[in-house]
Amino acid sequence: QVQLVESGGGSVQAGGSLRLSCSASADPYTSACMGWFRQALGKEREGVAAISRTGLTSYADSVKGRFTISKDNANNTLYLYLQMDSLKPEDTAMYYCAASQWHPDCFRMMAVRGYWGQGTQVTVSS
């Protein structure tokens, strides 16, 4: 069973930075797509950043140039990261780590058939 555990959320002032981490117990098949989603109060969940098994990345337009997704593998555990710089109040949301099998549209595959963590809250104050 795939387990995803996020950490690193918190409160920060606008312009600040946070780094989210996600540890994933997943095999290469179920982690071919990995990424971060977020959901703000009263809004729909949206894909923020995704990375494929080969390292191909994609970002939501709203975070391009500010957020960076990366991954690592240590001690048979996958680690997914999201470096968030130049944070804005509109980045405030619950952030979720997700993983799924491969699909050319990683965001869509994770959204409809992915495994999810429980989320970590990010709050950006103005």
Hey, is 91 helix, strand or coil?
helix
Strand order in the sheet with 67-74: 3-7, 18-25, 77-84, 67-74
pLDDT tens-digit map of 112-125: 999 999 999 999 99
- Let me know: does 30 contact 55? Beta carbons within 8 Å: no
Q: Is the dihedral of CA 67, 95, 56, 3 positive or negative?
A: positive
Task: Mention every residue, 6+ apart, whose C-beta is less than 8 A from residue 119.
Answer: 6, 94, 95, 96
Q: Write down the pLDDT at residue 26.
A: 84
Please report which confidence band the pLDDT of residue 97 belongs to, taking 50, 70 and 90 as the band edges. very high
With 90 as the cut, is the pLDDT of residue 76 above it?
no
pLDDT at position 43 over 90:
yes
- Per-residue pLDDT, 77: 86
- Predicted pLDDT of residue 100: 96
